[in-house]
Structure 1
Amino acid sequence: MIEHLSFSVTGQGLHSITSVVSQSIARRFRGQDGLCTLFIQHTSASLLIQENYDDSARIDLERWLNRLVPENDPLYTHTLEGPDDMPAHIKAALTASSVAIPIINGQLALGSWQGIYLWEHRHAASERNLVMHLSNS
């Protein structure tokens, strides 16, 4: 089964989507096992499973990636939408456009300290679309 999810993000950073995905699975997979695959339909944002306990881990990831892929690099020619345009595409290429998570007994099989994040690479607030594919085992 396919579900389309939409998220409003306030700008660059890691935005937790775990609760929305978990709630959707709980409605459809009561006590069942399966697989949840999430796919983001954008080239300037990505998906990530990361620590959900200590915010400093996500802050450090964001800072590290911004240092690795800086804005205003003179090599960039794709700057149509501003200085964060090409860096956002590079960041999305270096990270993931999809994640797959097992469903066990109707719940995501995430570890104790794991959460699902939409990683927005642009500065502006925007609407991001995901496709969630759920399959029974």
Structure 2
Amino acid sequence: MWHQDEIHLTERPRGFHLITQELVGALPWLAECEMGILHLQLLHTSASLTLNENSDPDVRHDMNAFMRRLVPEGLDYFRHTLEGPDDMPAHVMASLLGTQLTLAVRDSRLVLGTWQGVWLGEHREQGGSRRVMATLTGKADP
């Protein structure tokens, strides 16, 4: 079986956001999959996808604080500045964290560790809505 769909995520403020349930809710065909692979590709260059803590929101807060300190705005050697002071740092963060995830599927569910969830890293102050291309390949339920 093969399925592919574009998921439209709602606009979110700068920071890290747990989006696992929003993704699963947008993928009804996941229920048909006994075993497979789900590939998620964020269709943007100033946001990221990553897999991390799904329980304590302090982890998302701390990750945002760390990334903003790691790649601060206003670095004098950035030349790409016409789109605002947060744009070039957002591109750097997206490249560091990545824009794609590949997740196992078993028994119609994502195979995630106990404390794992999918995060959207929104690295712009006004990033807007985001799109994710989801591609599932696998063995359908009999």
Relative to the length of structure 2, the TM-score reads 0.90
Q: Does structure 1 retain, via aligned residues, the 8 Å contact 2:35–2:138?
A: yes
Pairwise CA distance, 1:97: 1.0
Q: Which amino acid aligns with 1:118?
A: L
Q: Which of residues 6, 10, 13 in structure 2 aligns to 1:11?
A: 13
Q: Paired residues, what number? A: 137
Other-structure match for 2:103: 101
What residue identity is the alignment partner of 1:39? Q
State how far apart, in whole Å, the 2-side matches of 1:110 and 1:52 are: 10
RMSD: 1.4
1:49 aligns with 2:55: no
CA distance in 1, matches of 2:40, 2:29: 17
Paired residue type of 1:131: M
Q: Tell me, which stretches of 5 or more residues in structure 2 are unaligned?
A: none
Q: Distance in 2 between matches of 1:132 and 1:19?
A: 14
Instruction: Report the AA paired with residue 92 of structure 2.
Output: I
Letter in 1 for 2:137: S
Q: Pairwise mapping of residues 1-137 of structure 1 onto structure 2 (< 5 A)?
A: 1-25=3-27, 27-30=29-32, 32-137=34-139
Cα distance in 1, alignment partners of residues 30 and 56 from structure 2: 30
CA distance in 1, matches of 2:26, 2:10: 17
**122 and 96 in structure 1: CA distance in 2 versus 1, 3 angstrom threshold:** same
Aligned partners of 1:55 and 1:24: how far apart in 2? 23
**Where do 5+ consecutive residues of structure 1 fail to align?**
none
Q: What TM-score do you get using the length of structure 1 for normalisation?
A: 0.93
Sequence identity (%): 35
The whole-number CA distance in structure 1 between the counterparts of 2:113 and 2:56 is 14
1:26: how far off? 5.0
